[in-house]
Amino acid sequence: MTDTARHKFLDGKVQLYMRTNSPHWQCSCSIAGKQMRTSTKEESLARAKDVARDWYLGLMGKYRAGEIRDGTPFKKAAQHFLQEYTIITEGERNAKYVEGHGIRLRVHLLPFFGDKMVEEITPGLVQEYRVHRMTSRLDKEGKPKRPSRSTIHSEIITLRHVLKTAQRHGWLSYLPDISAPYKTSGKIAHRAWFSPEEYKQLYKATGERAKNPKKERWRSACEDLHDYVLFMVNSGLRPDEAKRIEVRDVEIAAEGRKGEKILHISVRGKRGVGYCKTMPGAVLPFQRMVSRHSLGSKDLIFPKIQRELFNTILDELGMKEDREGNPRTAYSLRHTYISFRLIEGADIYQVAKNCRTSVEMIEKFYASHIKDMIDASAINTRRPKR
């Protein structure tokens, strides 16, 4: 609608105008760089001026009390970031990864920073956020339930994205340093995995449960879990990658040692489409899954992970956690594959390429705890005696 009449008063700080098809006067003003508007709900110009004057003085009182602040709200910058990021990265980043930014904003960042302006987010305030996250949740014993280092790191990444969005739009003059002031290097802890002896116990236990389930209606689920464990440890796939694999993504090829059959898998994961060549031990579980469920070319091989049954068997074996207290999950099967390949002397570059990760990640989280990666003959050298 267009304005049909406009009047200014209080040195031009307040404007009165009337819209077409409306009998009431509207008023507007600018406070803290923000345009404020409201309706006086008055048809008389004199009474509308009195209402607008009281409304303006009330806003000025709130501004002096700090209830109305200069700058751009963090909530507005967060909304802009989610809109931009979702559209620009569509098809290039995994949908779950993009969704994770929205979850971290909604659950953690907005409740803490939501009423702040982007200019008020300083390194000190970000450090207060870290302390808040490590002390706000309590376990059953009343002790602080600290999130993992990677969880806090992911939340800080989301926060940095929002601040960069504000800077691009001119709402923030400079990007504050929000890096962690302490423990910048951190302790390198290896990923939870199954040693060869533990893995032997695991697949024997899942195989026994598949032959003798506690209830007959659970037989299919127990058989699926047994094949899932064998398939994952012989392929090194991530759980989310295995969940997306269809029958048409798998090809049986005679490329193994001495002409053994292996699987060629087109993997669709967080880094797009990649490829995996499995160990021979993955062929039989794949064939059993296809035969047991009469799968078609477009059917998922492992549409559901039997997590509850998997955790039950781990509890029965006493292997739910490793010696350092790291919980074992379905991801530990991937870690087991990588560790086994390194123990057998596989080339670390080829292992990284087959697992769609980097050599740096493997050296940092896997090779550091495997004794076979250390050459004793190169260490225990002695100078010849005269």
> Which whole number is the average pLDDT over 332-336?
93
> Which whole number is the average pLDDT over 106-111?
94
**Does 59 score more than 50 pLDDT?**
yes
pLDDT tens for 166-216 read 999 988 888 999 988 876 565 566 778 899 999 999 999 999 999 999 999
What is the share, in percent, of the chain residues with pLDDT greater than 70?
91
Give the pLDDT band (50/70/90) at residue 165.
very high
At residue 242, the pLDDT reads 93
Supply the pTM of this predicted model: 0.66
In the numeric block, the tokens 């292992």 are attached to: 351
Give the pLDDT band (50/70/90) at residue 232.
very high
SS3 352: helix
Give the pLDDT band (50/70/90) at residue 73.
confident
The least confident of 30-39, 47-56, 62-71, 207-216 is: 62-71
At residue 370, the pLDDT reads 63
Cα separation, 310 vs 304, whole angstroms: 12
> Which whole number is the average pLDDT over 91-111?
89
Nearest to 209 by CA among 194, 199, 221: 221
19, 26, 55, 144, 296 from 9: Cα distances, Å:
18, 13, 13, 57, 76
> Which whole number is the average pLDDT over 124-137?
92
pLDDT tens for 284-297 read 999 999 999 999 99
**Cβ of 154: how many Cβ atoms within 10 Å?**
17
At residue 155, the pLDDT reads 95
Cα separation, 322 vs 327, whole angstroms: 7
At residue 322, the pLDDT reads 86
**Alpha-carbon dihedral 227, 230, 233, 236, rounded to 10 degrees:** -40
At residue 4, the pLDDT reads 54
